[in-house]
Structure 1
């Protein structure tokens, strides 16, 4: 048994070494501690997250739990009978009274979403900090382990940090060869109401979030009044922090709630947390989880394991997902690669240096982030993924469903992280329940469900604004149509019919809402009222308006949702009557129009945008992430989409840049896709940095997190998906290799990308041409493989592969 086990481990070691060689350098590295959040390194196990500053006199670890939100389950309707305002709005629009229509549209608004909350921070305060040298701070994406290493007073000193999903803890291991050992104090603090006590070798902090809050941009209250607290309401939490030494000595707890570490050369610090959140429709106090028992049980179990065992279990669990895809875009000059990551990023921006390893690192960083923040059932990654330090975070760090929530998951299937898609897919079921109430009360639609501009952990679906929000961002109801397309997207990649059958009612419900919401005007079906997310048109008399009818983005999302539902009925062989209704509706939808500038028209009338370079490009939805516009099938509309992007230019926010990478890739424009990808990696200074050399705008922070700015994680995920879209594109019937390969990536190799139809693909290329490929079918099926201007028909059995060698 030992002999066979040794051989198995040897094989695994060889495979892992090969994988690492293919991926080249996948470590973020820095030569100083982080001063700002945008310089700190993030780790997470899908529920618990930490933001690591790596200081030498004091080390701050900001903590988050993805289930810690303000608020309570949705209860009632903020604006009963809001739908009764619809006839007035439609009449105003028919009379071309757009200013009045905008005002009337505010009558169809409800409450705001709740705020995602910070858990707190662990502060490690060191005593001996006289002489620090040789500092290095790293995050190894191959293992999801962060570290700081340096010399303290002439002796080596290091800290490792990891977030373990198997053990539900964040673990730190501090070591030194100083004979005097480690001398430090541990403190916990939180912005939330809490109490802290220390006993034995542990700190316990118990607290609770507000039962009601308002967003940071709401002007109706002072910031200090935007959170309402009651210890008998809201989500409660228990955080446990324990210090463990090899001999059990050198750790003392104090009544003040802190812990002293005095003398050990090695100490392991374990952090765990649990909240009372028990589902979107459960009162977190009356029906909450036994969070105290859960947190204590997790700590008891983890405390019995060695750090090395926890580390091994964590790495094995993480690599099960991460190692599925490897990407090599070429080697960076070793002198450049040796520079700290933030310096590389800045030189990449300012000197236009070639750095393919940095470009591949950013792609894999997106996959790392998704594994780290999207593993909690029914609780998807939010606007900041998992990592937030503010009580009033930008845009509540909520789920913004007019692009940002969905963009978080664009790369999940194609980059072989289908399981990370599950939290969003589970969340859709919650939305469908509250969304039926919203459809009826706000829109007078009694069939199906819908979703507005924002949602939160409570699956809020109403349009926001409290009857005072600008309709450009508050009055929108296509979120359900958009998010439901993820159901068909998942099926196309996995061919899991059980999943499709189970989730078909959700997709049907979103389509039902769209059908009933449509009105007939000028012989076509369209929406009225409608908006194009966050954008405004200019009327001939100079009014900047938001509310209109027949807006292209509404129709695009409706069309895609109906097409998906129709495809699902055919795939499952069910619901033929509804399928006929879908087909009839699709045939009567308002068609696309091309404007006088050759652009894809965003509004029913050929009117200009208030801001021609606006960050949103929602009317291009049918091109990406939708599928009903394409270079092959709708060449004139694809050309109009390209013209739209040309007019918008390339200066925009981080998430918008990520979207544009994908749009250009779908247009098979590798030159512009790569140009925009480089724009996404534009170096941006930390928000609070005030030096003369500060850089602002959309791009990437020193820690590689996306700069909207401020930080939003969607750009990371959109950029990662965009790289995949440049390398491989697929439909249920075909796979195209290198559809938008730029000249700068003329040679490379990728393994493990997924394609629609249930396939995985490995391939290598040289001089922009595929030289070898392996296609594997996970479930059996046929496809057409397009490469180098040729097509090869494939029909494979489940698990069967075919190899293609060309050079």
Structure 2
């Protein structure tokens, strides 16, 4: 016993020294009280939000495949398209009020909601108060730990979720023999039953067949369960002690008088694909959970942990960032955020936020066809904010802006495969809602690849319900993956047909304006309103700038893809001709880039959406060098909008400022993204500026993960920007990052870039080629063209 105590105590008391003021570790002196203080773990399918309480530890459990509903019927409004001519006629007559009313006829059902699986409690039988409490999440290991002392006994916990073993594992230890006593129980907001059999706690249940979006308020039958319908789930919990006795009731499992124990958690659902009924065509969730549990129980803690680390670190360690000397003091993460919000320097906190974004993507995006949602993989609510769905007018895409450039290309795969799913339902949406070919996706989607415009068949406001350019925006991710990886097999076998289908929809959807330009009609600009010269405030119009920006980018990329594959010459020519005829960008009287076809006023000039700036970022056809007038108009637009906005919007604006090569403005907003926001336990605070909760979750508010991902992507964008043929080095380096280094940032063309800089000057660059390729490196006024074979690298001193 003395030996155990001797080994344990040094670790316990040195963890403050090892991990504080870290660029790799979040740590706290107290347990979480709110969801936004929890430390989150995930393996891309299973998620856990760990509170780390002393008397009772609470863990929210999630499975990314557990949603309300069942496969969507995309043919829900088969004659909606017949209303399109009347809407176009109203727009030709400049009758925008009538157009808004008629546009409501192009609506379908709402999306389903991401569901909470349940809550696991570990109740400890401590006698006395705890002291020396410490809680951490190590991003380098994807492991969370809790340590504390009660009556002279040291207690330690270690939590992680393994991707190789598809299991959550918790290791509980005490420094004095026989002092570890705890009980495990489980409950859920879903229909469920908990039993204990053969020393395994088993929870079986099912998700609702419908869960209405929370913003619809307290409506009748907002959540509906039907016993024979919906996705099934099984949760298994097993305690494996080194000593002591397993104790149980009919619904709890525990350990008495132990010293060390492992707690295994296995989860499975019956989800079997977006087009399979999970109740009648689903997989056997209980058998799957049992199989994973049985395999894991045959392995030691050391074996499972080793394979977890090997798997996780192969992704996480690809990128490192150093921003030079920091004078920030050693503080817990919540206190660091509060200090930083007063304007103090903390370079390692800026790095921590960047790496936390990468950590969250690895942890929430490894299930094909089921990408990270609005909350990644972590959600405790049966009607979560915005259904925790896929909002494709920005948020779903923003989740994946960091996938390629921060060297996590494999994490892009769930999103890319989801696009393949939504294209299937989207073919019917294109035909029945719009009367054209190809495929379409609209404002919202879910695990069932729903593609229709939302609004509950005419009850929704077109300002948010009727947007239909999701297919165009989604498809640009297919090209991005190709151009970063240069994987021609992917382009040929996966991407091109999807890009072509999205282009086909846009090509057939375009109509001529009175001057012979091609425009969309009807159209909307995501979630924003215009004010006409006679004072009408509406949403439905023709030729929205954002529509045409997305079509420009999609057509350009599809043309390039067809040329590379030497295919579809006739279709390519149609796209080229249409591209040349698109209604051009317009610069308004204020010097801004017009959001609307006409130079109308905005009722809300500081509106959170900036969709009409799509061509600057995330697209590539506006930049300060090649289109200086348009870039200046984008800058003016951003100045009018200001810097105060929601979390995801701030993440987007940081990237936009980076693309304007204004590092100091980008950095100012990056700091604001980290403004401390106190959690209050109330879900819904949709207005107000964004910031960061104590656990580094983005405070939209409430929590939305896209701000984390957009902010992390922006750090890489400030350091490296690239196109098919160029790599621009330190294009938006802020004065605050005077010296530093970065390793492993990816660039288009199949390259990896590492750099060192001092006194705001680039010193050394290393470029590694994943594929044979040629690119031009640009730093300031200097240009160097290099050609590299796959697997080779080149170092340059500037």
Normalised TM-score (structure 1): 0.94
Residue in structure 2 matched with residue 661 of structure 1 by the alignment: 654
Higher mean alpha-carbon deviation, 290-299 vs 197-206, is at: 197-206
CA distance, structure 1, for counterparts of residue 240 and residue 463 of structure 2: 54
Partner SS for 1:744? coil
Residue in structure 2 matched with residue 685 of structure 1 by the alignment: 678
Partner SS for 1:383? coil
CA distance, structure 1, for counterparts of residue 680 and residue 573 of structure 2: 53
Residue in structure 1 matched with residue 578 of structure 2 by the alignment: 585
Aligned Cα RMSD in Å? Answer: 1.5
Give the superposition deviation at 1:117: 0.1
List aligned pairs for 1:343-422, cutoff 5 A.
343-349=335-341, 351-422=342-413
CA distance, structure 1, for counterparts of residue 328 and residue 397 of structure 2: 37
Q: String of CA shifts for 1:347-404, please: whole Å, max 9, x gaps.
A: 111x200111000100000000000000001100000000000000001000000000
Higher mean alpha-carbon deviation, 264-273 vs 68-77, is at: 68-77
The answer on whether the counterparts of 1:687 and 1:710 sit within 8 Å (CA) in structure 2 is: no
CA distance, structure 2, for counterparts of residue 670 and residue 599 of structure 1: 21
CA distance, structure 2, for counterparts of residue 305 and residue 431 of structure 1: 39
**In the alignment, which of 96, 101, 121 is matched to residue 123 of structure 1?**
121
Partner SS for 2:214? coil
List aligned pairs for 1:88-103, cutoff 5 A.
88-103=86-101
Give the superposition deviation at 1:76: 4.8
Residue in structure 1 matched with residue 631 of structure 2 by the alignment: 638
Give the superposition deviation at 1:24: 5.8
The answer on whether the counterparts of 2:74 and 2:429 sit within 8 Å (CA) in structure 1 is: no
**In the alignment, which of 260, 285, 291 is matched to residue 279 of structure 2?**
285
List aligned pairs for 1:503-514, cutoff 5 A.
503-514=495-506
Note if 1:252 corresponds to 2:242. Answer: no
Q: String of CA shifts for 1:19-40, please: whole Å, max 9, x gaps.
A: x99x963100111000001111
Residue in structure 2 matched with residue 744 of structure 1 by the alignment: 736
CA distance, structure 2, for counterparts of residue 76 and residue 791 of structure 1: 51
**In the alignment, which of 229, 232, 237 is matched to residue 236 of structure 1?**
232
Give the superposition deviation at 1:334: 5.0
**In the alignment, which of 468, 488, 510 is matched to residue 497 of structure 1?**
488
Partner SS for 1:411? helix
Higher mean alpha-carbon deviation, 181-190 vs 640-649, is at: 181-190
Partner SS for 1:352? coil
- Taking structure 1 as reference, are residues 716 and 614 closer, same or farther at Cα in structure 2, changes over 3 Å only? same
Q: String of CA shifts for 1:66-100, please: whole Å, max 9, x gaps.
A: 00001111125222211111111111112221122
Partner SS for 2:368? coil
**In the alignment, which of 452, 456, 462 is matched to residue 442 of structure 2?**
452
The answer on whether the counterparts of 2:399 and 2:705 sit within 8 Å (CA) in structure 1 is: yes
CA distance, structure 1, for counterparts of residue 414 and residue 300 of structure 2: 31
Give the superposition deviation at 1:658: 0.3
Q: String of CA shifts for 1:92-141, please: whole Å, max 9, x gaps.
A: 11222112211111000000000100000110111114121111110000
Structure 1: gaps (5+ residues): 1-19
Give the superposition deviation at 1:200: 2.9
Residue in structure 2 matched with residue 8 of structure 1 by the alignment: none
Residue in structure 2 matched with residue 328 of structure 1 by the alignment: 322
CA distance, structure 1, for counterparts of residue 382 and residue 75 of structure 2: 26
Partner SS for 1:743? coil
Q: String of CA shifts for 1:411-464, please: whole Å, max 9, x gaps.
A: 10000000000000001110110000000000011x210101000000000000
Residue in structure 2 matched with residue 217 of structure 1 by the alignment: 215
Higher mean alpha-carbon deviation, 522-531 vs 681-690, is at: 681-690
CA distance, structure 2, for counterparts of residue 195 and residue 368 of structure 1: 34
CA distance, structure 2, for counterparts of residue 137 and residue 259 of structure 1: 25
Q: String of CA shifts for 1:157-192, please: whole Å, max 9, x gaps.
A: 111110100110111101111333211111000000
CA distance, structure 2, for counterparts of residue 412 and residue 429 of structure 1: 18
Give the superposition deviation at 1:689: 7.2
Residue in structure 2 matched with residue 185 of structure 1 by the alignment: 183
- Taking structure 1 as reference, are residues 430 and 584 closer, same or farther at Cα in structure 2, changes over 3 Å only? same
CA distance, structure 2, for counterparts of residue 32 and residue 677 of structure 1: 27
**In the alignment, which of 750, 763, 770 is matched to residue 771 of structure 1?**
763
Note if 1:26 corresponds to 2:18. Answer: no
Q: String of CA shifts for 1:479-509, please: whole Å, max 9, x gaps.
A: 0000000010001000000000012100100
Give the superposition deviation at 1:539: 1.4
Residue in structure 2 matched with residue 551 of structure 1 by the alignment: 544
**In the alignment, which of 757, 773, 796 is matched to residue 788 of structure 2?**
796
Note if 1:650 corresponds to 2:643. Answer: yes
Give the superposition deviation at 1:147: 0.7
Residue in structure 2 matched with residue 35 of structure 1 by the alignment: 33
Give the superposition deviation at 1:281: 0.5
The answer on whether the counterparts of 1:535 and 1:546 sit within 8 Å (CA) in structure 2 is: yes
Residue in structure 2 matched with residue 525 of structure 1 by the alignment: 518
The answer on whether the counterparts of 2:22 and 2:349 sit within 8 Å (CA) in structure 1 is: no
How many aligned residue pairs are there? 774
The answer on whether the counterparts of 1:769 and 1:788 sit within 8 Å (CA) in structure 2 is: no
The answer on whether the counterparts of 1:57 and 1:129 sit within 8 Å (CA) in structure 2 is: no
CA distance, structure 1, for counterparts of residue 474 and residue 682 of structure 2: 36
The answer on whether the counterparts of 2:211 and 2:382 sit within 8 Å (CA) in structure 1 is: no
The answer on whether the counterparts of 1:201 and 1:244 sit within 8 Å (CA) in structure 2 is: no
Residue in structure 2 matched with residue 310 of structure 1 by the alignment: 304
Structure 2: gaps (5+ residues): 1-17
